[in-house]
Chain A
C-alpha cells in the first residue's frame, strides 16, 4: 500500500525519530496539544451554546461569533500544529490506531459542518442575530458541532487504549 510505505518512510526520517525518542520535547508538544483544548474547545463551546440558545441570549449571535473566532481559530491552529508533530513522531502507530482514524473523520465532519454553516445558515444571520433562541436549522448546526467536537475529544483521549482493547 503506497500510503503505508510513505508513512514508513516519514517515520524513518531523522526529525521523526528524534521527536519520538526525545525525553522532553515530545512531552512538551503533547502538553501543548492537551492544554490548548481549553482555548479551542472552550471558545467553540460558547459559540455553539449561543447557536443553541442556551447561553448569552441577549448578546447578538454575530457578536459572540466574531469576538470569539480569533481565539477558536488560534486555538485550532496550535492544536493542528502540535497534533501534526505528534503524528509525525510515530506515523505508523497513529495510522494503525482506530481511534486516530475515527478522530480524523470526525474532524473532517466538523469542518464540513462549519463550512456549510458559514456558506448557508450564517448568510442570513441579520434575520436571527438578536433572537434569544435562533431558528431550528441554526440550533441544529450548533448541536451537530457540539456533538462532533465532543466526540473528537473522546476519540483522542481513547487513542492510548487501542492496544488495551483491540490488542
Chain B
C-alpha cells in the first residue's frame, strides 16, 4: 500500500465519510483547533518573549516556564487530536500540498526541540544560559511555530 493509498483509505473509510457528511462536525473541530492556537500561542509566547528579553522580563525564566508548561500541554491537547481529525477528513488533498509536508516536518522538529532541548534549559532554577543562548532558544522556537502556523493557514485555503 502506498502512502497515497493509505491517505485515500483514511479519507474514504466509513467513519470519516460520516463525519464529513455532518454539517457541524468539520466546523466544530476547526473551531476547537483555532481556540487551541490561542492557548498554545499564549504558552509559547510567554516563555519565548522572556528568552528574548521581552514581555515579563523581570521574572526568572523558570518561573514562567513552569507555569506555561500546563498551558502548552493544554494547547497541544486541543490542537493535536483535532488536527489529526481535520487531516483525516481531507487526507488526499493534503498529500499533494507541499505546505502540509513542511508543516508536518516543522511540527516533529518543534516537538523534539521543545521537550528535548528547550524544556531542560528553561526549567532550571539557576539558569546557565548566556543571553545569546537564550535568544537562540527563543528564536528557533518562534520560527518553527510560525512555520507550522503559516503551513496550517496555507493548507486550509480552498
Binding site for B on A (CB under 8 A): 27, 30-31, 34-35, 37-39, 41-46, 49, 55-56, 58-59, 63-64, 67-68, 71, 149-150, 153-154, 157-158, 161, 164-165
* A142–chain B nearest beta-carbon distance, Å: 13
Which of B38, B43, B63, B157 sits near A27, CB closer than 8 Å? B157
How far, in angstroms, from A164 to B30 measured CA to CA in the complex?
A: 15
Q: Cβ of B41 and Cβ of A41 under 8 Å apart?
A: yes
Known: A64-B56, A158-B31, A161-B27. A37 touches B63 (CB 8 A): no
How far, in angstroms, from A56 to B65 measured CA to CA in the complex?
A: 10
Chain A residues within 8 Å of B37, by CB:
37-38, 41
Known: A31-B150, A150-B35. A59 touches B55 (CB 8 A): no
Chain B residues within 8 Å of A154, by CB:
31, 34-35
Which of A37, A59, A71 sits near B49, CB closer than 8 Å? A71
* A49–chain B nearest beta-carbon distance, Å: 7
Q: Cβ of B38 and Cβ of A153 under 8 Å apart?
A: yes
Q: Cβ of A67 and Cβ of B58 under 8 Å apart?
A: yes
Residue among B35, B63, B71 with max Cβ neighbours from chain A (10 Å)? B35
Q: Cβ of B30 and Cβ of A42 under 8 Å apart?
A: no
B89 interfacial by beta-carbon distance below 8 Å = no
Interface residues of B in 141-158 (CB under 8 A from A): 145-146, 149-150, 153-154, 157
Chain A residues within 8 Å of B149, by CB:
35, 38
How far, in angstroms, from A6 to B49 measured CA to CA in the complex?
A: 43
Chain B residues within 8 Å of A161, by CB:
27
Q: Cβ of A42 and Cβ of B41 under 8 Å apart?
A: yes
B120 interfacial by beta-carbon distance below 8 Å = no
Q: Cβ of B55 and Cβ of A71 under 8 Å apart?
A: yes
* A143–chain B nearest beta-carbon distance, Å: 15
How far, in angstroms, from A58 to B58 measured CA to CA in the complex?
A: 13
B42 interfacial by beta-carbon distance below 8 Å = yes
B57 interfacial by beta-carbon distance below 8 Å = yes
* A29–chain B nearest beta-carbon distance, Å: 12
Chain B residues within 8 Å of A58, by CB:
63
Chain A residues within 8 Å of B40, by CB:
38, 42
How far, in angstroms, from A55 to B56 measured CA to CA in the complex?
A: 13
How far, in angstroms, from A79 to B75 measured CA to CA in the complex?
A: 21
Chain B residues within 8 Å of A44, by CB:
42
Q: Cβ of B56 and Cβ of A42 under 8 Å apart?
A: no
* B24–chain A nearest beta-carbon distance, Å: 8
Known: A35-B153, A71-B49. A41 touches B63 (CB 8 A): no
Q: Cβ of A34 and Cβ of B153 under 8 Å apart?
A: yes
CB nearest to A58 among chain B residues: B63
